[in-house]
Structure 1
Amino acid sequence: MLYPWQGTTWQALRAQDARQHHALLITGEPGIGKLAFARHLAKSLLCESTSDAKPCEVCAACRWVEAGNHPDYRELTPVVEDEEADSESKAKKKPSAWITIDQVRELNDFVHLSAHRGGQRVTLVQPAEALNLAAANALLKTLEEPPPGAIFILISHQWRRLLPTIRSRCRQLPMPLPERAQALAWLEAQGLADAAAHLAEAGGAPLAAIERADASALALRRALLAELAEPRQLDPLALAERLDKQKLEVGKVTDWLARWVYDLARLGLADSVRYYPDDMSRLAPLASGLDPVRLMRYHDTVLAAKKLASHPLNARLVYEQLFFAYQQAVRPMPKG
């Protein structure tokens, strides 16, 4: 089913008729329900009821899509590979960083077959930016000469990372963030305590707000921000060692750090914050007298570290470098 804030986007798409183009690229921030929207669209395209305004949710086709076993529906996602494990431990699973060319080749076999149910064949690719270069080029060939009845739905959190040629073969559907009041009402209906603070920290994305509200992660984030608020007392080596022992993901720590620095810079430039309004009492004194340009350069450094979070880096070394650089970034500008 669609989320409450997706009704307008759905109506606009249906008014254009999703069948008019063989490929749709859904873009927007993570945590706003793009995947749910795409699956809802896939159901409507494969639904065997007489109405095409929305999926009926009760026919065999709708139930098969929901269960992930419709013969004319495929989802292309990053593959799951075995981690290396010694003989005394069980092999664990972790998602790889890429959608591979072998997956696209298997997909090509699927899209060139006749539909089992006599309708269309629908493929959902998410996230599309996870296509490695070889896979992207292979998919591009199919998008350029799509078989009759084949429809592709691509989801992207970072559409600028896609090949321009792939973007040009798709009709783009930007999905906006929901209105704050609507998102808050939905979060409160889910029973989320302190919904406003979590929504702000998630940048206005309701599903991300629920994910970020995990109690253990919340306590760790607050502890980190408390130390960042006192840069003169901050011990980069000790903090890096503690975070490393806590086995926190580098991506999560760099995300918190980037949002904190963004709010510091925004306070200096626009006298407002986006992510941590509940921390204004700590942000405001620290932001006074800082160089916003220096902060944004440091912000770029943190984002670069975040992009490398999936690589096998030495987390402790990454933290040490970031926190030493943070102390330099929040040095007050000379007076006069």
Structure 2
Amino acid sequence: MSILYPWQEAAWQQLQTLRQRLPHAILFHGAAGTGKADFIEHFARALLCENVQPDGHACGTCASCGWFEQGSHPDYRRIRPEALEDEVEGEEGEDKKAGKAKAPSKEIKIEQIRNLSDFMNISTHRAGLRVVVLYPAEALNMPASNALLKTLEEPPPGTVFLLSSNSLDRLLPTILSRCRKFALPMPDHAQALAWLQAQGVNDADSWLREQGGAPLAAMAQAETGSREEMDMLLQYLAHPGVEAALKTADKMQKVPLSALVSWQQRWLYDLFSCKLTGQIRYYPRYQRELKALADKVHVSRLMAAIKGANERRATSDHPLSPKLFIEDMLLDYTACCG
């Protein structure tokens, strides 16, 4: 069942103004962990509904809504990386990964885009719309991006593309130019905190701050019940040193690199903010350590470290060696604080 979250209500109302002259492609963008995928699937369901409600929501009772709920709507296609499909299978207890020789791909591949050809060349059911949902758009590899671009340049009649992205700067400018961009909001802290508490999340404030204010990411982390990996990194960042960097890198080489870089980026933000304003956003649990470091680190070195972390984020999905990647990241930070 597709849902809307409380912080998406205003965006939903704004979106209804596009229904009169619907663009052939809409690119929804915003921070990760705020529910963009749920939002666009909710919209897809509403576009296909045969008895859409005055507020723009699907009726939930027509044949089209029934097909959508069952995942068998003939005029709907969803494209996402194989890794995301496997996550859903795991949640549903259908573990198919055991028989796979290779790890599931984190990319959207050209075959997935080419497979849309037959779908887009046949008549729609009951003369309605045809809807393609694709996320995250930054997972498109270059051949897939070029194939999608050709489709967006000559869109089939009656077809709407709904794309979602966490990072517009990772998309081809030509794809951006072919889509109507629609921003989805980050909830304010109080609203996100209230929602997490309503879901029964313990220590919701800390989880929310550590995930940069993204409530779904905070809930996912809280459900693991463990901060062990994050705290291992934060303990090193609080007490940097060459020997500690090498030991920490050895212990953390199996942790997703994108997560490590994100944790470090937030730490650097807190360190910078603490030095300039005395404020700490992400890791108030480490207030004493951050203030001690802020007293001695030089602003120019800190700015260079922030720039380096941003650049490192772009390569974290495809490192030549995870251990060397982490060593380089931590030794650069050690030099910054030295």
| TM-score where L is the length of structure 2 | 0.88
Equivalent positions of 1:231-250 (< 5 A) are 231=240, 235-244=244-253, 247-250=254-257
Which one-letter code corresponds to 1:65 in the other structure?
F
Distance verdict in 2 for CA 1:240–1:232, change over 3 Å = closer
For 1:272 and 1:234, the matched residues in 2 are separated by 30
Q: Which residue of 2 aligns with 1:278?
A: 285
Provide the rounded CA distance (Å) in 2 between the counterparts of 1:234 and 1:176: 42
Hey, what does 1:71 align to over in structure 2? 74
**Cα distance, 1:34–1:215 mapped onto 2, change above 3 Å:** closer
Q: Any conservation in 1 of the 2:236–2:245 contact (CA below 8 Å)?
A: no
The reply on whether 1:149 has 2:158 as its aligned counterpart is yes
- The reply to whether residue 172 of structure 1 matches residue 178 of structure 2 is no
1:13 and 2:7 are equivalent in the alignment: no
What are the equivalent positions in structure 2 for 1:106-125 lying under 5 Å apart? 106-125=115-134
- Structure 2: tracts of 5 or more residues without a match: 87-97
**AA at the equivalent of 1:67:** Q
Q: Give the superposition deviation at 1:255.
A: 2.1
Please tell me the residue identity of whatever aligns with 2:157: P
Residues 1:58 and 2:61 are matched in the alignment: yes
Superposition map of 1:80-95 within 5 A: 90-92=99-101, 94-95=103-104
Match of 1:218 in 2: 227
Q: Give a deviation string over 1:108-150, Cα, whole Å, max 9, x none.
A: 3212221023200000011112222222222222222222210
Q: In terms of mean alpha carbon deviation, does 166-175 or 248-257 score higher?
A: 248-257
Aligned counterparts of 2:165 and 2:263: Cα–Cα separation in 1: 22
SS of match in other structure, 1:20: coil
For structure 1, which runs of at least 5 residues remain unmatched after alignment?
A: 83-88, 332-336
- Identify which of 257, 268, 279 aligns with 1:261: 268
Secondary structure of 1:154's match?
Answer: strand
* Conserved? CA contact 1:26–1:34, under 8 Å: yes
- The equivalent residue for 1:295 is 302
Q: 1:301-326: per-residue Cα shift (whole Å, max 9, x none)?
A: 23333333332532222222222221
> CA deviation digits over 1:272-295, x for unaligned, max 9?
222112321221111113122312
Matched residues in 1 for 2:193 and 2:151: separation?
41
> Secondary structure of 1:74's match?
strand
Structure 1 residues 2 and 316 mapped into 2: Cα distance closer, same or farther (>3 Å)?
same
If each structure's helix is expressed as a fraction of its own residues, which one has the higher value? 2
Stretches of 4+ moved more than 4 A in 1? Answer: 214-217
What residue number does 1:193 align with? 202
Deviation by residue 1:76-134 (Cα, 9 ceiling, x = unmatched): 1124699xxxxxx8435633232222221111321222102320000001111222222
Deviations 1:242-282 (A, max 9, x none): 223xx322222222222212211222233322211232122
Percent identity over the alignment is: 44
> What's the TM-score once normalised by structure 1's chain length?
0.88
Relative to structure 1, is the Cα distance of residues 8 and 228 closer, same or farther in structure 2, using a 3 angstrom cutoff? same
Give CA deviations for 1:8-50 in whole Å, capped at 9, x if unaligned.
Answer: 0000111332652111110000001100100010010000115
**Preserved CA contact (<8 Å) 2:261 2:309:** yes
User: Retained in 2: the 8 A contact 1:79–1:100?
Assistant: no
Matched to 2:81, the amino acid is P
What is aligned with 2:92? none
Equivalences, count: 323
For residue 296 of structure 2, give the secondary structure of its aligned residue in structure 1: coil
Match of 1:33 among 32, 35, 40: 35
Name the amino acid aligned to 1:201: E
Question: Once superposed, what is the RMSD of the aligned Cα atoms?
Answer: 2.3
Q: Structure 1 residues 213, 296: closer, same or farther in 2, change over 3 A? A: farther
2:52 and 2:236 mapped to 1: Cα distance?
Answer: 60
Contact kept, 8 Å, 1:108 with 1:142, in 2: the verdict is: no
